[in-house]
Structures are given as C-alpha cells and as structure tokens.
Amino acid sequence: MNKGTVQKINQMEPWLGEEEKRAMIEYLDSGGWLTEFEKTKEFERMIADYTGSKYAVTVNNGTISLIIALMALNIGYGDEVIVPDFTMIASANAVTIVGARPLLVDIDPSNLCLNLGKTKELISPRTKAIMYVNLNGRCHDMNETVALARRYNLYLIEDAAQSLGSRFMGKHLGTFGDIGSFSFSYPKVITTGQGGALVTDDDELYDRIKKIKDFGRPQSGVDYHETMGLNSKFTDLQAVIGIEQMKKLDWRVNRKKEMYRLFQQLLKDIEQIKFLPTNLEDCAPWFNDIILEQEGIRDELTRFLKERGIGIRPFYPAVHTQPPYAYIKGDFVNSEDVSKKGLWLPSSSFLTDEDIERVCRTVKAFF
Ligand SMILES: Cc1ncc(COP(=O)(O)O)c(C=O)c1O
C-alpha cells in the first residue's frame, strides 16, 4: 500500500521497515547478542515508561504472559477466574492451561468488555481473579472495575493485548490491576514478530514474574529453582525491532485514531452500520470495528468485500461456542449477538486516506 499498490487492502502492516532492518544489522555488526540482554532491558524500560508502570518484563508472546501472570499470582487447580465470553481465545486458554477454571461472563455490548453486573453474580469463594480484557482499546470506568475486584478480594489481571496506546482518563490500560499483559505478536499495535510483556508496580510480583520466565530460578546460569517456571525469555534481536517499533508508536496511535474517525465519517449515512461509542481522546482502536445490526448481512458484506480484494475479518466467535469450552453453559446473549454481527474493517496504520475511501465506497456500493 505504501509502496504504491492498492490491489489488495488488508489488515497487514509492512512492519519490518528500513529502520528495523538497519537497527538489526547494526546490532549484529556490533557483536550483539541473540538472547535476552541489554537491548531487552532497554525495550522493557521503554514499555514501562510508556505505560507508566514501575516494571515491564518481556516474554515470548501475549498468551505466555497471561499464563505467567496467573502463575505469579499462584492461581491454579481448584481456582476460578472470571473471563469475558467475547475475547481472543488465549485469555480463556491461559486460565485452563494453569489448571484453573474460566468462569465465562457475558459482555457489555456498548464496549465489548466484561459485564461487571453479571460478574458479581458468578463470584464464589473459589474465584481468585478477574481477567479483564481491554478489547480493542476500550474499557469500562476502570475505577469501577478495580473497586469490584477489591470488594471481592480478587486479583485483577488486565489482558491489554489489544490496547497498547489506549488509556482510561489518561492512565494507560493494563496498569489498573495487579498485572497487565501486552502482546507484540503480528499484527498488533507494535510487533516484534511474536512477543509479549507483563507490567506491574508490585516489587514481589515483578520478582516472581522474572523467575517464572526463567525456569523458576532467581539467577540465570544457576541451577537452583526456587519456583515452578517456564522458559519464556525474549531475545535481543526482537528487542532491537521492538525499540524501533516503540519509536513509531505515537505516530501509529494517532493514525489509528484518524483512521477510525475517517471510517466513522464516511460510513455515517449507512443506517445498518453501527459504531461503538469510542472516546478517541483515550482509545486508539487497534481494529476499525463495526456492528451490522441486520441478521445475516455481516456475512454477505464479508463475502462482497473479500471478492473485491478487501481484507476484512468477522469478529471472534463467542468463547463458549468453541469446542474446548462447549462444556460451559450460561446466558451469553451479547457475546453471541456481536460475534454474529461484528466486522473488523481494514486497519493497518499504513492504509492511506484514499485506501479507506475506496473501502468505504465499496461498502456503500454493497448497501
Ligand atoms: C485479547 C488477547 N489476548 C491474548 C492474545 C494472545 O497474544 P499472542 O498472540 O501474543 O499470544 C491476543 C492476541 O491477539 C489477544 O487479542
């Protein structure tokens, strides 16, 4: 697209730019390390500073970071964790993988995040944590979410995989709870190919997270394992890419907001298309999401756009409809509804205004 081709308009970022390539070559030429070392520390400091966290710890992806968050909080067999029924499957999988049980809760249709009222109804003495997913940079009043967790003595883990660059009242998402989790897997707001990070302000949790990602040992190279652990270390080569990506983050966040505004403006006359309430002061939508109220029209539009080379993606299915979670029954009216009606329009920050105009013209032609 930025190379002059508008044959296909899709969601993909040509993320490995000249800056990343140059930085990798320079780093290797300087005798740089492949494994986690100084560049990883520098990248972690950038994430901590950007999000306003005391600590950031990088890991190999945003699924492992959720698993480590749960392990750091000693959540496992016999425990329950509240998870929204509409999220990328990794949120629920992380809970299952540590041996705990995800308690799926319906979402609030106004922001696609966990329904706090319904959450209260499910909390039991076995419930240890809320995994709040800041889906697509949106959230509730996060002070209410924190208050709910505190009232019931639950840990709050924020799955902010989709929310780098998004805030609530100026405070970065992922920093309200005990631990926040980010993903840098392609194509996220920034990417290191695969990658993830945990943020926390808690000294003890930071210490545990660092040990868990390194086989449970307090120090690398020492074969004493204080706690159960994984090998989820990052690499300096990824960190070199991440550092360059972080330099582009402000630009990307602004572009995401501009793009969302432009889609809203160009599609505002199509009655069947609904945009979710989105405060663009704080929220940088990772994907340009729309809801098509009329039953069946989402799938017809999807086909129509795909046939014309426009890369769009229907919303995730509700988690309880996926085979590993089919055992969970409940009232999931909103997650079921949006998963049938939601569509992610092309969202790469490299789309030009002309690309977006073409997408919108094609959407209009459909209607
Ligand atoms: C909400 C959410 N959580 C977790 C993940 C998993 O991240 P990763 O792909 O880095 O494992 C994703 C990935 O898209 C996500 O969207």
- The DSSP annotation for 84-151 comes to ESSS-THHHHHHHHTT-EEEEE-EETTTTEE-HHHHHHH--TTEEEEEEE-GGG--S-HHHHHHHHHH
- Helix (H) or strand (E) segment spanning residue 253: helix 249-266
Q: How far apart are CA 10 and CA 3, in angstroms?
A: 14
* Cα 183 to middle of ligand 1, angstroms: 6
Does the pLDDT of residue 4 top 50, yes or no? Answer: no
Q: How far apart are CA 339 and CA 319, in angstroms?
A: 10
**Is the C-beta atom of 134 inside 6 A of ligand 1?**
no
Does the pLDDT of residue 233 top 60, yes or no? Answer: yes
**Is the C-beta atom of 185 inside 6 A of ligand 1?**
yes
Q: Residues near 217 by Cβ (< 8 Å), separated by ≥ 6?
A: 211, 223, 224, 225, 226, 229
Q: How far apart are CA 40 and CA 84, in angstroms?
A: 32
Q: How far apart are CA 245 and CA 239, in angstroms?
A: 9
Q: Supply φ then ψ for residue 270, to 5 degrees.
A: -90, 105
Q: What is the mean pLDDT of residues 281-297?
A: 96
Q: How far apart are CA 208 and CA 90, in angstroms?
A: 22
**Residue ID of nearest Cα to ligand 1 atom 10:** 62
The tokens describing 156, both together, are 């709050």
> pLDDT averaged over the chain?
94
**Is the C-beta atom of 162 inside 6 A of ligand 1?**
yes
Q: What is the pLDDT of residues 90-147, one digit of tens each?
A: 999 999 999 999 999 999 999 999 999 999 999 999 999 999 999 999 999 999 999 9
**Residue ID of nearest Cα to ligand 1 atom 7:** 62
Q: What is the pLDDT of residues 162-205, one digit of tens each?
A: 999 999 999 999 999 999 999 999 889 999 999 999 999 999 99
Angle at 18 between CA 232 and CA 199, to 5 degrees: 30
* Cα 83 to middle of ligand 1, angstroms: 14
pLDDT confidence of residue 13: 57
Q: How far apart are CA 224 and CA 216, in angstroms?
A: 8
Q: How far apart are CA 281 and CA 175, in angstroms?
A: 18
Q: How far apart are CA 267 and CA 364, in angstroms?
A: 8
**Residue ID of nearest Cα to ligand 1 atom 14:** 88
**Is the C-beta atom of 46 inside 6 A of ligand 1?**
no
**Is the C-beta atom of 161 inside 6 A of ligand 1?**
yes
Q: Please, which residues bridge with residue 58 across strands? A: 197
Label residue 8 by pLDDT band (50, 70, 90). low
**Is the C-beta atom of 328 inside 6 A of ligand 1?**
no
The tokens describing 95, both together, are 């809970």
Ligand 1 atom with least separation from CA of 63:
11
**Is the C-beta atom of 32 inside 6 A of ligand 1?**
no
Q: What is the pLDDT of residues 305-338, one digit of tens each?
A: 999 999 999 999 999 999 999 999 999 999 999 9
Tell which residue, 154, 109, 112, 164, has the closest CA to residue 133. Answer: 112
* Cα 193 to middle of ligand 1, angstroms: 13
Please report, to the nearest 10 degrees, the dihedral formed by the alpha carbons of residues 350, 354, 360, 361 taken in order: -150
Does the pLDDT of residue 7 top 80, yes or no? Answer: no
Tell which residue, 93, 34, 98, 64, has the closest CA to residue 231. Answer: 64
* Cα 63 to middle of ligand 1, angstroms: 6
Chain-centroid distance of CA 122 in Å reads: 25
* Cα 162 to middle of ligand 1, angstroms: 7
The tokens describing 303, both together, are 């086909």
Identity of the amino acid at 213: K
Does the pLDDT of residue 6 top 80, yes or no? Answer: no
Identity of the amino acid at 268: K
Q: How far apart are CA 138 and CA 18, in angstroms?
A: 32
Ligand 1 atom with least separation from CA of 135:
1
Ligand 1 atom with least separation from CA of 61:
10
Tell which residue, 189, 242, 256, has the closest CA to residue 47. Answer: 242
For the chain, the distance separating the N- and C-terminal CA atoms, rounded to the nearest angstrom, is 26
* Cα 360 to middle of ligand 1, angstroms: 28
**Is the C-beta atom of 270 inside 6 A of ligand 1?**
no
Chain-centroid distance of CA 181 in Å reads: 8
Q: Supply φ then ψ for residue 120, to 5 degrees.
A: -55, -40
- Helix (H) or strand (E) segment spanning residue 50: helix 38-51
- In angstroms, the Cα distances linking 324 to 229, 319, 321 are 25, 9, 9
Q: How far apart are CA 175 and CA 181, in angstroms?
A: 9
Q: What is the pLDDT of residues 110-124, one digit of tens each?
A: 999 999 999 999 999
Q: How far apart are CA 87 and CA 85, in angstroms?
A: 6
**Is the C-beta atom of 133 inside 6 A of ligand 1?**
yes
Residue whose structure tokens are 């069947």: 272
**Is the C-beta atom of 87 inside 6 A of ligand 1?**
yes
